[in-house]
Chains A and B, each alone.
Chain A
Amino acid sequence: MTHMTRRRFLQYGLAAVAAGAALNNAAEAAPVPTELGPLGSLGFPWRAREAGVPSFEVHVLSRMAFGHTKADLDAIQSGAFKVNDWFEAQLAPDGTENDSLTQKIAGFQTLDKQIWELLRDYPQPMQGVTGPTVRDVINELLRATLLRKLYSKWQLKEVLVDFWTDHFNINMYDDLQQWGKSVDDREVIRRHALGNFHAMLLASAQSPAMVTYLDNNTNTRQAPNENYAREVMELHTLSVNGPYNQTDVQNLAKCFTGWTVYGRGPNVPENRRGTFYFNPNVHDTTTKTLSYLPAPVQGRSGPTGVQEAEGVIAALATHDWTAQFIATKLVRKFVADDPPLSLVDQVADKFLATTTAPDQIAQCVRLIFQSAEFRQSYGQKTRRPLDFMVAAMRAVDADVNTTGDTISFLERVLVRSYLAPQGHNLFGKVFPDGYPDVGVEWVNTNALLNRWNFGLNLMKNQLERRTQPSMVNLLPWINTVQPQTVAGLVDAMIDRLLGYTIDAADRDALIAYVASGGAGSMALSNPMKTVKAPELAAILIASPYFQAR
């Protein structure tokens, strides 16, 4: 198989891009047995009607941030927002943070703790016992995740955190992951989100939550468990079409025997409970062959046995199939559901050329940012439920009240009433493949209805009246803009929420709504500002425009 054909074959299998025509070697093509074609052909197109082209700045903020805020638009308008400078700064967060986030997150107790500390301080809930429980660990991670997406100044990092959270998916609602996902989020995902893939992969393999989630803790010489070995190749590195077979899965599982975690019982020293360690006593010391490695993995006994799988991880992290897979997923994240091959190949080459660089991932993202494919791809991505929710809240500067118990609004309402019913239950994906990143998976009748209701309740401050009575208030802004006519209000609102112009017929429909059938030249009344304006925003949030990024 030639290099190019291999790449295209991989691409085909991953993204299901249009059928055999893309394949120059029919014998190697995955057969497409029906004329219906693969699902990729259903990929989310930009709205069939006309819309204006967003500025590059707005486009960048829709892809490399969770949408724009009012402050972003002001900075763009005044010329203070230099997109290249912004992007370069985003690649290397300097440790500062927005006060809005710092204040809301200040009281959090669990985000910086080691797993044994969490196990010690946050037990399973027991009837009749009050005090902190593991629910607090889970809730604080959900709250911190949402607040960071909403208010962090390091938006690109948050986008990549979302990306890697799916790539190294862990179901937090089970077993040691209840404590360990919080640690994994900090030590694996956030630490390496813009960094080096090999470092992230190794950290993930030794992350207690990953170890128990994919059963490596039960993987022993006597009773091998293939789960992690399979998924690390299929989902984390080589990809499902990668150059490995079932024997490789079994042999890699043997390499990983002994990669486990300490128990939680009283016989384990407190500061080791739940932590990762290598147990040479259950390690399989035979020599293992992996078909994609030039030489067998020499069996090692004693503490050096850990080096076997470490060596394989290094090889996997730098394998060209891995480069192609990660590049495909990154380009899909930032450019299009069907990633353009030309760019994927360039990013894969960059990935391979920077395998030892501490900013390997940042360099790959920079290449995407600078590409023509990225620049021209506006509107081709669908906002996933989390993207949609956060973008809507950012666009109207929603200020979530996080004082006292009110903060539970974040997981009670945002996660359970809106994200989970759309199938986007944060850290709750049971299967290890993570949540999908193609629009066709997220747009359906149930999801659209949920989104429309979210937009209206957001704008009416009715997401939870009790705790969030004044989360959104557009009136001060309207009074600053001072539109004189209905059309003036509609245009200002379109600009604020979307940042680009829309189809003329759609604009007319919005005018008709605000003016109750009247003309755009109608003078703006007070009820229009206080009642109709939030509803106008809700309609825009519900529109097809806002579902895209």
Chain B
Amino acid sequence: MPDLNRRSFLKNSLMSSIVAIGGISWPSWMPRVVFGPPDRSPHGDTLVAIFLRGAHDGLNIVVPYAEGEYHAKRSRIGLDEPNKGTAKSVVDLDGQFGLNPVLRPLKDIWDEGDLAVVHAVGSPDPTHSHFDAMDYMERGTPGEKQLQTGWLARHLASLASENRSPFRAVGMGSVVQAALRGPVPALALESIASFHLDPNRRASDITRFQQTIASLYQGTGFVEVQGTATFEALDLIKKIEAGGVYAPANGAQYPNTPFGNQLKTIAQLIKADVGLEVACVDKGGWDTHAGEGDVTPAGNNLPALLNDLQAGLHAFYTDLQDRMDNIIVVTMSEFGRRLADNASSGTDHGHGNVMFLMGGGVVGSKVHGVWPGLAPNQLYGPGDLAITTDFRDVLGEILLKRVGNPHLDQVFPHYTDYHYRGVVTPRRTRTASLTDLLAAAR
């Protein structure tokens, strides 16, 4: 077997094939279930979309420390230049921007070339309402509410996929995220551990009990389709769990938080090859109007939230290291926060923000976008960071180049004026035949 580095595009497919055919030892919790002919299923990256709800303060997350205006307007919660040597010194990225030091562990991924930032990005709609802004972003139609479906649901529906896995699209949590709402059934999953029918075995004949309910759900009505998907998911989860407790690889340590546990579940699903194409994760609490904090985690302040965010992302990356070429993680938040901090040591609703991208296909170690500046005449509205990159430019480029979906007209209807920032590299098409793979494996 040739010495393949992490960025080799073939490695994962090779290893899967070896296992499937050669029977080489592999964690037993991997059920090896194949949904649809793999050559006709989409070859794209698995997309993990993280929605940071409440409008996070991008200016204190990826800090434009070279801007005098930043320091002038943030007398209460502003961070320091990287060379200041203080606890509040940011982690330098490129001589202009720096990470909030709470995010320092992400610098490893940045240095590896698998992490990038897009700055001054967002939804062009001027709303300062969380409700509307989230809605617009999840529908992928800023300023329009006619279309009831979400951008990810339309993405899935626009592909001629033969992937029939109940895990094709998973929304972590009690309800499916609005981005996934649409004609392709998405699985709502709180956790693998909680996804059981009659976990305490109270039915006298548990097998027949489940089979009887399942038989009642045979049909093509909406509720029946959902019920059938539930049983398929139950079945798969049983197989996933058969090998015991999930052990993350490479010493990855997920934080024991809802966010950490949800990312761990996604990692488990990815490694189990159950056909996962899209996963949505939420992390809320970013509406920091008061007591935002700077670099010291406390309660539910910004540093505390960032700490959970970085710990989860870092563990996910570590755990899935040898699969990262086939995974893309993207974060988004409905809008940014005002440049000037307020009298309550917080920030009010703003406009432009940051997005993180993580994965092997990311053009990493780079802050992408066009920086609009922070001078008064460069700000938007009441003193907000302007938007120079539409969030659809980023998501559209990901779908096009990494996930292999050319139908952006269906995913983001009416949007044609794309400005791709080169945030990802085009995915190389897998052409190797099974024989090639086996030959390479020997």
**Contact across chains for B157 and A36 when beta carbons are under 8 A apart:** yes
In the assembled complex, which residues on chain A have CB atoms less than 8 Å from the CB atom of B95? none
**Contact across chains for B222 and A439 when beta carbons are under 8 A apart:** yes
B292 vs chain A, min Cβ distance (A): 19
Distance in angstroms between the alpha carbons of A31 and B144 in the assembled complex: 10
Partner of B131, one of A37, A38, A431: A431
- Among A64-72, A395-403, A446-454, A475-483, the stretch that binds chain B is A446-454
B161 vs chain A, min Cβ distance (A): 14
Q: Known contacts A33-B413, A542-B213: does B221 contact A38 (CB below 8 Å)?
A: no
Q: Known contacts A38-B148, A44-B223, A443-B222: does B189 contact A539 (CB below 8 Å)?
A: no
Distance in angstroms between the alpha carbons of A314 and B198 in the assembled complex: 53
Chain B: which residue is nearest A241 at the CB level?
B145
Chain B: which residue is nearest A44 at the CB level?
B222
In the assembled complex, which residues on chain A have CB atoms less than 8 Å from the CB atom of B199? 453
- Tally of chain A residues near chain B (CB < 8 A): 66
B376 interface residue (CB < 8 Å to A) = no
In the assembled complex, which residues on chain A have CB atoms less than 8 Å from the CB atom of B181? 39, 440
**Contact across chains for B146 and A30 when beta carbons are under 8 A apart:** yes
B312 vs chain A, min Cβ distance (A): 21
In the assembled complex, which residues on chain A have CB atoms less than 8 Å from the CB atom of B195? 446, 449
- Taken residue by residue from 85 to 124, chain B's Cβ proximity to chain A (1 for < 8 Å, 0 otherwise) reads as 0000000000000000000000000000000000000000
**Contact across chains for B200 and A462 when beta carbons are under 8 A apart:** yes
Chain B: which residue is nearest A541 at the CB level?
B213
A252 vs chain B, min Cβ distance (A): 16
In the assembled complex, which residues on chain B have CB atoms less than 8 Å from the CB atom of A457? 202
In the assembled complex, which residues on chain B have CB atoms less than 8 Å from the CB atom of A205? none
In the assembled complex, which residues on chain A have CB atoms less than 8 Å from the CB atom of B229? 445
In the assembled complex, which residues on chain A have CB atoms less than 8 Å from the CB atom of B409? 33-34
- Among B203-211, B269-277, B337-345, the stretch that binds chain A is B203-211
Q: Known contacts A240-B145, A516-B205, A544-B221: does B187 contact A445 (CB below 8 Å)?
A: yes
**Contact across chains for B209 and A513 when beta carbons are under 8 A apart:** yes
Q: Known contacts A36-B154, A439-B222: does B202 contact A448 (CB below 8 Å)?
A: no
In the assembled complex, which residues on chain A have CB atoms less than 8 Å from the CB atom of B410? 33-36
Q: Which of A366-405 contact B (CB under 8 A)?
A: 382
A89 interface residue (CB < 8 Å to B) = no
B282 vs chain A, min Cβ distance (A): 12
B245 interface residue (CB < 8 Å to A) = no
Chain A: which residue is nearest B126 at the CB level?
A246
Max chain B C-beta neighbours (<10 A), residue from A12, A432, A446, A542: A446
**Contact across chains for B216 and A543 when beta carbons are under 8 A apart:** yes
**Contact across chains for A509 and B174 when beta carbons are under 8 A apart:** no
A532 interface residue (CB < 8 Å to B) = yes
**Contact across chains for B197 and A453 when beta carbons are under 8 A apart:** yes
B216 vs chain A, min Cβ distance (A): 5
**Contact across chains for A444 and B145 when beta carbons are under 8 A apart:** no
Q: Known contacts A13-B146, A446-B174, A462-B202: does B230 contact A47 (CB below 8 Å)?
A: no
Chain B residues touching A, range: 35 or more
**Contact across chains for A382 and B154 when beta carbons are under 8 A apart:** no
A299 interface residue (CB < 8 Å to B) = no
A48 interface residue (CB < 8 Å to B) = yes
- Taken residue by residue from 281 to 299, chain A's Cβ proximity to chain B (1 for < 8 Å, 0 otherwise) reads as 0000000000000000000
**Contact across chains for B226 and A445 when beta carbons are under 8 A apart:** yes
A456 interface residue (CB < 8 Å to B) = yes
Q: Which of B168-221 contact A (CB under 8 A)?
A: 173-176, 181-183, 185-190, 195-200, 202-205, 208-209, 212-213, 215-217, 219-221
Distance in angstroms between the alpha carbons of A510 and B198 in the assembled complex: 18
B166 interface residue (CB < 8 Å to A) = yes
**Contact across chains for B226 and A535 when beta carbons are under 8 A apart:** no
B227 interface residue (CB < 8 Å to A) = yes
Q: Known contacts A36-B183, A446-B175, A449-B197: does B233 contact A509 (CB below 8 Å)?
A: no
In the assembled complex, which residues on chain B have CB atoms less than 8 Å from the CB atom of A460? 202
Distance in angstroms between the alpha carbons of A337 and B222 in the assembled complex: 13
B84 interface residue (CB < 8 Å to A) = no
Partner of A38, one of B149, B189, B202, B213: B149
B442 interface residue (CB < 8 Å to A) = no
B40 interface residue (CB < 8 Å to A) = no
B244 vs chain A, min Cβ distance (A): 22
Q: Which of B5-26 contact A (CB under 8 A)?
A: none
Distance in angstroms between the alpha carbons of A380 and B224 in the assembled complex: 14
A468 vs chain B, min Cβ distance (A): 14
**Contact across chains for A39 and B149 when beta carbons are under 8 A apart:** yes
B404 vs chain A, min Cβ distance (A): 19
- Taken residue by residue from 193 to 230, chain A's Cβ proximity to chain B (1 for < 8 Å, 0 otherwise) reads as 00000000000000000000000000000000000001
Chain A: which residue is nearest B218 at the CB level?
A49
A54 interface residue (CB < 8 Å to B) = no
Q: Which of A27-62 contact B (CB under 8 A)?
A: 30-40, 42-49
Chain B: which residue is nearest A12 at the CB level?
B146
**Contact across chains for A49 and B202 when beta carbons are under 8 A apart:** no
In the assembled complex, which residues on chain B have CB atoms less than 8 Å from the CB atom of A340? none
**Contact across chains for A33 and B147 when beta carbons are under 8 A apart:** yes
Chain A: which residue is nearest B216 at the CB level?
A543
Distance in angstroms between the alpha carbons of A505 and B215 in the assembled complex: 9
**Contact across chains for B145 and A48 when beta carbons are under 8 A apart:** no
A433 interface residue (CB < 8 Å to B) = yes
In the assembled complex, which residues on chain B have CB atoms less than 8 Å from the CB atom of A462? 200, 202
A538 interface residue (CB < 8 Å to B) = yes
**Contact across chains for B148 and A544 when beta carbons are under 8 A apart:** no
Distance in angstroms between the alpha carbons of A13 and B149 in the assembled complex: 13
Distance in angstroms between the alpha carbons of A141 and B230 in the assembled complex: 34
Q: Known contacts A433-B131, A539-B213: does B190 contact A421 (CB below 8 Å)?
A: yes
**Contact across chains for B166 and A445 when beta carbons are under 8 A apart:** yes
In the assembled complex, which residues on chain A have CB atoms less than 8 Å from the CB atom of B414? 31, 33
In the assembled complex, which residues on chain A have CB atoms less than 8 Å from the CB atom of B166? 445
**Contact across chains for A16 and B148 when beta carbons are under 8 A apart:** yes
Q: Which of A499-544 contact B (CB under 8 A)?
A: 505-506, 509-510, 512-513, 516, 531-532, 535, 538-539, 542-544
Max chain A C-beta neighbours (<10 A), residue from B130, B185, B216: B216
A34-B413, A505-B215 are known; give 11 further A-B pairs, CB within 8 A: A32-B146, A44-B223, A45-B222, A47-B221, A432-B131, A444-B176, A445-B166, A445-B229, A453-B198, A535-B209, A547-B223
| 19 sample A-B contacts, Cβ–Cβ < 8 Å, listed by A number | A31-B414, A33-B410, A33-B413, A34-B413, A36-B410, A38-B147, A40-B148, A42-B222, A46-B221, A47-B219, A431-B130, A445-B185, A445-B189, A445-B226, A448-B223, A452-B213, A456-B209, A535-B205, A542-B213
B-to-A contact residues, CB < 8 Å: 129-131, 145-149, 154, 157-158, 166, 173-176, 181-183, 185-190, 195-200, 202-205, 208-209, 212-213, 215-217, 219-224, 226-227, 229-230, 233-234, 409-410, 413-414
Sorted nearest first, the 10 A-B pairs with minimum C-beta distance are A33-B413, A39-B148, A446-B188, A30-B146, A48-B219, A423-B175, A48-B221, A444-B188, A445-B230, A513-B212
